[in-house]
Amino acid sequence: MWQKPMFHGLLRWWETDDAIRREMVLRRAARAQARRLLARSRLPDLDLTRFLESVCHRGRVLRADGTPVSVEALASLSPHRLERMLASGELCVTGNQAVDCTGSGSAEPTPEPERTPVRELRRFLMRLLGSPGESLEAVRQATTAAAPIDVTTCSLVLCLSDPETWAIFDPRRVAGLRRLSLMLAGGCSWGAAATDYEHFLAAARELRDASCGVLEDLLAVDLLLCRLAELGEARAWKVAAGLSGPQAEAAAVSRRSLAGGFAAIAPDDPDDPNITRLQQIQPGDCLVMHLPGRIGAVGRVTRPYYEVDPDCPDPLDRRCRRRIGVQWMAGDRDYGSILAGAQQRFSVVELSPDAFWSIARMYRQDPQYDLLFRPLRGAWVLACDKAKWARLSGLSKPLPLRDQWQIRLHGEEPQTGDLALLFRRGGRPGFAGLARVISGLGPKPRDDSALSRVDVLYQRLFERPLSPDGPGLEAGLASWQPPSPDETARLSAEQTAMLCERMGAFPERHFVLLTGGTSVPMTHPQTTFTFNHESDGCSKTLSDAVEAGQARCLVYHGSPENRFAGFGRAVAVAEREARVDLCRFPRRTGLSASGLGTSLLREEGSRSSRRARSVLPISAYDFYRVVAVGMGRAGSAASVPRSIEELAQDCGGPTERFREMERLLRRRGQLILYGPPGTGKTWLALRLADYLTGGDESRQRLVQFHPSYSYEDFVEGIRPRAVEGAGGHAAVEYPVLPGAFVTFCDRARNEPDDTWVLVIDEISRAHLSRVFGELMLALEYRGREVELAHTRQEGGRTRFSVPPNVLVLGTMNTADRSAAGLDFALRRRFVFYPLFPDDPELVLSMFRSWLDENAPDARWVAALLAALNERLEPEVGRDLLVGHSYFMRPGLCEQRVREIWRFELHPLLEEYFAGAPERLDAFDIDELIREARSRADSSAVSDEGAAAPGRSRPRRHDSLAGDDDTTPASGEGDHGL
């Protein structure tokens, strides 16, 4: 774990920063004086005042005449000159330079003289400065009220007497250790170090040994931890090279920055404000590398501002000599309109958290994302009321277990892979369980105050909740308030780290075990997998993760099965064998890599039939997306169909019709669902998009056409934009910006093995020839470039192609005549699939299925709709029939049907028959209801005991996935997973 660029960058910072080196010189000088005072031979004559001055008081630097030296004067001295002045006697130090002097840590550990007799203090110090075993016993005694000095003062004394062996222990150093753990992606299990001196000492020694000599002793470790504790919360920045030369030079700087682990700017003026902003960036901050028109990489800062030698031979290094160290995660993402105005124009700009996470989410399928950014997201807190907790604590199913929560969100939304903590309210309140978010939000409610749905996977439940007022937590959670039921709260990264340490919840690393062609028996909780010699590099990574208790694995069966079979915790790795505590997926439904769009198997999955076995890293996002599908659903509303058969079953239509839609869409690339209003065209298009993208909302987009929708909105165009001009004055520029479709295609081009679906609602309401422009050729010939009407970016490309993995799914209302008919050239590019209310095999079947599930006592409404359309078609034609969506309302009954007729359908018929009101006499609601009930009764008699042909009744789901076909069998779960 110590082969981390972040750790190496911090060591480089400690090694080269003059301020750190000056403070280290002062600490060593103060330690030399205090060590003479604390010699065992002098302890019998120790004076309490001298003890306080040398050990517990803050250090000062004095001149030979006794006047203090200012901080500014010290900063002007080089470390070597300061060392010479101390050696010659020009300067001297008093007090303890290691005592907090910044006000950011704990108060001075000063014993009270009136309560500390000198003889008692001397005896205690003699014991404290004895053998290591006797010293630790004295430290344990210092935890009691009877001890003359506290643990912090004990650690100060020990470190002053022997900095090679002892470290300084106080809340400030613990905070620095916790901050380091966050920077290292939680790769160190230092939970006990917060409350126990021995564990803290072990962590400090581990840091010293891992530095390979850079941190010479524990005084140096202490200084590093103090510097880390002084850092604030992580901020986000954008850095661009800022070169005024050709674009090729900027690209060369970017490549060198990625390879060298730094970010650089090249201002000509030394007073440029970009330099000042670059100097404000601190280790641990988040960074975006901005290239023209796109994001080149994201990363975490490892080393603050520094400059390279201005006389170096390389001219490119000379120009970009002002730098910060960065651990990069490379990529090439289109930022769209996320960075606007001045954020695009200046070299160094601070970003808002929302803007940064919008960019960072584009990289979440990279395993490096979990190491760099996942620790910064903190955790979600879900409140359990008394009834909810009673239900959870009474579960008979083993963990892990999937469930769906109804929560009210304000602002930020959960992401797949985020940590969720269960907070028990009432009784004995406290943190009572751990879970993971395994799928994003369901359909967003229109009302901001309404509840949203999110799926979680319970991993651990505690019988004794952890109180937020408990030891070691009261300070970090002092201002935190638990959420009320249906609300959710956010914990910061620091608070989450504290709680996870106390709960024993270590961070996770995720892998996939690829098995070659044959199913591995998974009848036992532990199963052994073998991987080949080509996996040596990844197997070492897996072995390290297992040793740290972090390894989580998916099992993927290669050809001929090509499916994910289960997941679990790897418990041992030896000689190319991994033993896994396995939880098999309950359904064998062919979870293929291509169907889920997992990034790790783009190459390896296609070669699984040739490679016997392998192990590969995977991101938490991909891991939990697969788990979400494999563990079944927690509720029907937020579920994602995993196969075309399941999609048909959920919708209530025949499988062959849905297979036909998919076949036509994939073959042609563009498909339009057309029919009268209310036939569920948009709903079905969105369900198809969910199925085709595996429920990944980032690979879907919905746009709605209207008469004002233009080429500039869809393809590209010139748009005015306010920017900050010279001298702080506002200015207006007119850049060429990509539209919705071009932006969507650029994102899809970066992930060619995943399916991306653009849904165009009401496609016929815009002037399509104007909106699509050159796309008529690009849609038909995928991959072929066409010349665009504008230049997309200054110096950028002007040619564009539609990637083969982009599917366009449109809906068209046949009753809407507000726009002219489709251009015949464009019509030829699309496949048209009809959805009419009188289609008994598909549309009526879906409506009957909805009635069976949601309004079983109102099944006669399907007959009512059929009777209405039979009378309506001879009058107005098939394009103006009435769809079933009018009746898909909660609590459907005869009274609700009459309301719908009176206020929605009757006004529609009046518009149809404007000028001939006598034709409305054929549409009497009482007569229609009688006819519908008569039809329904006769149909029930003839079909009693048999299912309707061509469809299956959808399954009902509890809010907690506890049915046998959606949870592991008994004994197959891992309670500590």
Query: What percent of the chain stands above pLDDT 70?
Result: 81
Confidence of residue 186 (pLDDT cuts 50, 70, 90): low
Q: What is the reported pLDDT for 813? A: 87
Report whether pLDDT(268) > 60: yes
Report which listed range, 387-391, 663-667, 813-817, is most confident. 663-667
**Which one, of 808, 811, 783, lies nearest residue 714 by Cα?**
808
Query: What percent of the chain stands above pLDDT 90?
Result: 17
Tell me which DSSP letter residue 489 carries: E
Of the ranges 731-745, 784-798, 843-857, which one carries the lowest mean pLDDT score? 784-798
Report whether pLDDT(606) > 80: no
Confidence of residue 795 (pLDDT cuts 50, 70, 90): very low
- Provide the 3-class DSSP secondary structure of residue 316: helix
CB 492 within 8 A of CB 179: no
Q: What is the mean pLDDT of residues 836-841?
A: 87
Report whether pLDDT(903) > 70: yes
Cis check: omega of the bond before 560, within 30 degrees of 0? yes
Q: What is the mean pLDDT of residues 788-803?
A: 67
Pairing of strands 286-291, 322-333: unpaired
Q: What is the reported pLDDT for 968? A: 35
Rounded Cα distance, 974 and 458, in Å: 11
Q: What is the reported pLDDT for 189? A: 64
The H or E element containing residue 465 is strand 452-466
**Angle ∠(297,298,301) on CA atoms, nearest 5:** 125
Report whether pLDDT(519) > 80: no
Q: What is the mean pLDDT of residues 247-254?
A: 78
Rounded Cα distance, 462 and 133, in Å: 36
pLDDT tens digits for 144-174? 877 888 888 899 999 998 888 999 998 889 8
Q: What is the reported pLDDT for 51? A: 86
pLDDT tens digits for 436-493? 998 766 545 445 556 777 889 999 998 888 888 877 677 778 778 888 877 888 898 8
Of the ranges 171-180, 224-233, 607-616, which one carries the lowest mean pLDDT score? 607-616
Q: What is the reported pLDDT for 289? A: 87
Residues 184, 189, 193, 199, CA torsion sign: negative
Rounded Cα distance, 423 and 404, in Å: 16
Those residues whose C-beta lies under 8 Å from the C-beta of residue 156, and which sit 6 or more positions away, are 55, 56, 96, 98, 99, 109, 168
Cβ count near 353 (within 10 Å) = 14
- Provide the 3-class DSSP secondary structure of residue 912: helix
pTM of the predicted model over 0.85? no
Can you say whether residue 517 is alpha, beta or left, with left for phi > 0 and alpha for psi between -120 and 50 degrees? left
Higher confidence at residue 586 or residue 877? 877
Q: What is the reported pLDDT for 817? A: 54
Q: Which residue has the tokens 């061509």?
A: 950
Mean predicted lDDT score pLDDT of the chain:
80
Q: Which amino acid is at 172?
A: R
Q: What is the mean pLDDT of residues 497-506?
A: 82
- Provide the 3-class DSSP secondary structure of residue 263: strand
Rounded Cα distance, 250 and 885, in Å: 56
Extract the tokens encoding 580. 């896994």
Rounded Cα distance, 127 and 109, in Å: 19
Report whether pLDDT(90) > 70: yes
**Which one, of 193, 185, 120, lies nearest residue 155 by Cα?**
193
Higher confidence at residue 559 or residue 872? 872
Report whether pLDDT(836) > 80: yes
Q: What is the reported pLDDT for 344? A: 61
Rounded Cα distance, 949 and 969, in Å: 33
pLDDT tens digits for 634-685? 443 345 676 787 788 778 888 889 989 999 998 889 999 999 888 889 989 9
Of the ranges 61-75, 596-610, 818-832, which one carries the lowest mean pLDDT score? 596-610
Q: Which residue has the tokens 């643990």?
A: 151
Report whether pLDDT(969) > 60: no
**Angle ∠(763,768,774) on CA atoms, nearest 5:** 125
Pairing of strands 551-557, 563-574: antiparallel
What is the separation of C-alpha 543 from the centre of its chain, rounded to a whole number of angstroms?
25
Report whether pLDDT(723) > 90: no
CB 957 within 8 A of CB 634: yes
**Which one, of 325, 341, 377, lies nearest residue 356 by Cα?**
377
- Provide the 3-class DSSP secondary structure of residue 381: strand
Report whether pLDDT(939) > 50: yes
CB 686 within 8 A of CB 702: yes
Report whether pLDDT(435) > 90: yes
Of the ranges 199-213, 414-428, 444-458, which one carries the lowest mean pLDDT score? 444-458
